[in-house]
Structure 1
């Protein structure tokens, strides 16, 4: 068969019917037509099948013939998955049993052919198939019963887990197909919101996520940028993504009960909440078709200006309605006025004449009194004294001693007044 005028790009090749007596190839192959400088080239992904061959721009598919026999036949087992979320790379495991009619295990070995690989298999033998794969077990004797069991069908729902039959010579090819359908899948949406200036909203923040236990598993995604453009593609289960304010990414095709972890790298200039809670990480399990939404909100940390700044935007603290105001301090009593110095008392005029100390009467004057009162320069009496006249027997030393004492008292009195002033 020749295909002409094909455009450059990707195509799929699958055999849908085989002539009787031949083993069919049920696998779907990817074919790419590549443009060269002056010509073109064809490439095909054979997945290791040696019965698919390429020679320049020619592809050859080889079907093996079933040798007719009156004593044996061939068992052909095919695998197919269906549904929106079917993954053609998922591997399913099987076990085959061969028994006589009475249930006794058959201990012989049979040749098999699987994706271009040959080998031998017997009772309780195991093999693996992906979507579109098939295994051919040849020359099984008649009257032998076979039991096929799908032992691992992942998260798919098998229409039948066990199939059995008896080998006969008619037909020569016994076909068995296992079909699994996918379950409903969910999704994970990661949103970003930034509170702050225009520069803050354009800043990119890095996120890390891990979905399930297979970091290399591919998921489809839908990314919405800040310009509103929607971009679709594929992304690994363990990867990173950068998001700014208003952007999001939706990871699709996540099987139910698959766990996930999402975290944001630390930026000390912002506080971070996840779904309204303080933190930078969220863990969960996808259990609904709508899936989970994980929303990160970042707010820039702003240090308010001091209270003395004129443009201080910080509102004043509210006044306490019941302040604990300390009692008023009592007024300090005024210092009392300085007491006026009392005036000198009016001294009574002595009956004995008074003389200043520096102007005493001449004792030899016949008119001088016998007794006098000696006073200081201010008129304060210092004491009385007997005036000794010539010819009297009063000793002169007494008068001298009295004068000295009077002088001494005068000195003390002056000092006292000086200090009092």
Structure 2
């Protein structure tokens, strides 16, 4: 990749920014939950079609894939996720979402792009536009993948199962990125594991209900659930080595309907995270052991029911490909703006694409918040309090230079692998 080639492809970015800002605002105002992203998908597909891509829709139910075949060379997959969250926006932005939708349980819920997927989609739309317009500078095949249902619903795996690679071809490299609550203009990379593995479980504890005046005739699921919740806190503190970071969270507990009624069942939802798939498996085994043992101790009428809601392996970057891409970012953005990423306890299904294809994949972070605000918060030890994290109702990236940076990273990543048609060397 040469500076001259990159500059040529990026030369029309300035002119494209107003349209990309309009796209971002539109997506932000019209968020859609996992596997319902029909309006979002239609708009992204329309833009790909205008840019000359071969467009496939309905991949993994609501995913969109654009294919641009541009001569001999490798196939590079660029991915963005597009779904939103059931969160009520509290950013105060002029373009804040007031949308509502229906969740999987049939509940009417507020909707918000609280994790930045609207920015991700805008970045990829912009990069696809620039690479299509500058196709004389590179050779190969570009896959622009707009993935549905990243938020706990397995959208990446759904796209693979639905024949993504049969339609578009198997990639040689897979690249993706995520907006982070860091200074806008910063690009953060990390070889190896960058995001945690995660698993969510729904556990039903079976008791025997009855009247609150006669607890001796019941097996109280409230008491059983309380014992389980407390005992689960020992999985990390007493069963996991201090050198193996892990998290066990009981995020939801539902039991009972009235003060004088002892219910039949209690339902817990538990989330676990670790930076090693083996550690995550040990967390699961410990949870099963504790839940079943507490049920026996309570003389429950039958064993608990344990259901896996979703599971994500670690997001691990190919080390050689990550190092090479980091050098490309440093050459383009400078060493001051290309920094090491921390290991993030959040989780992603991006890695499904590289694993399914059996090829190197690299995932990185792009800062999206006011640099002075973030740096001041870090300096004063107030980062967690003053800078809203992903999934917060106050998560509000600044538009500039966030838009520009995220488009440039994807373009630089693609050009780092595509050869120049005249020389055959990296574009």
Of Structure 1 and Structure 2, the greater strand share is in 1
Bigger Cα Rg: 1
Of Structure 1 and Structure 2, the greater helix share is in 2
- More contact order relative to length (CA 8 Å, sep ≥ 6): 2
